[in-house]
Amino acid sequence: MIVHFIIVERDNPVMIDEMMIAIIMLIIGIILLLAEAAAPGNFIIVPATMLTILGIVFIFIPDQLLTIYTPILAVIILIVAAVLAIQLYKRMSPVAPPETLVGTSLVGRVGVVTTMITPSTMLGKVRVNGEVWSAEASSNIPAGTPVKIIASEGVHVTVEEISQEEYNKYSSQEAKAPAPKIEEAKPAKSKKGEGETAIVITLISPGLGTGKVKIGDEVFNATADCNIYAGTEVRVISKDANGVRVEEI
């Protein structure tokens, strides 16, 4: 059975049957395939494949176009096309390796724990030369503790706790500032120093008022708009008699 559609354009009726619809589907499908080929990655290959296959099928069996088999066939084609498209995109765009890899040159360097390290997990973080790395260790190491890198793999490092003296020794060789050492906080004397960088030595949390930072050889009370962990490098944005206000760099 052939069903005819009538499209009225002004005074000239146009007859459209299933064959014409199938041809239109095929043409649209081919256009979409060409668009995908010109700019791959837009995922229009899925509807393009569906329309192309349906168009070809119903050119040969146009009387089945408006039956229950059409949506069933369309769903099957969509699923298959989606799976194949995902595999195609994976081949075209393989997962890129991390932009920054830990090299063997990091082994032996020292840093400061910014997030507590727990054995057998990669939740811990250490800051080394201004960069933060995922870290693990054989024992718990709290934030603010100086550590030394003893191994590296991928973007993870394995560390061990070291003393303040060892940190100072290694960091001086690397032309880095000494590890933070918690001292009694001193109030800021003036606004001089705004824009300076500092190292957080005690967790800064809004509303607590217990945060401390080290600027040069002095330690100041510090506040911020968000949590900033020990070992994080920050910038002083204001300074008064009660301490400093900082932001993470």
The pair of structure tokens assigned to 34 is 């060409």
Structural domains of the chain ordered from first start: 4-92 (no CATH), 104-173 (2.40.50.140), 197-248 (2.40.50.140)
In this prediction the pTM is 0.33
- CA proximity to 125, closest of 156, 161, 170: 156
Question: Phi and psi at residue 91, in whole multiples of 5°?
Answer: -70, -35
Query: Along the 249 residues of the chain, how does pLDDT read in single tens digits?
Result: 444 444 444 555 545 677 888 889 889 989 988 887 777 656 688 888 888 888 888 888 888 777 888 888 888 888 888 888 777 766 655 444 444 444 556 788 888 999 889 887 777 888 887 778 888 898 899 988 999 989 887 667 889 999 888 888 777 766 544 444 444 444 444 444 567 888 888 778 775 667 888 887 788 888 888 878 777 888 888 888 778 888 888
CA 169 to chain centre: 35
Q: How many whole angstroms separate alpha carbon 46 and alpha carbon 35?
A: 12
CA 159 to chain centre: 25
Question: What is residue 112's three-state secondary structure?
Answer: strand
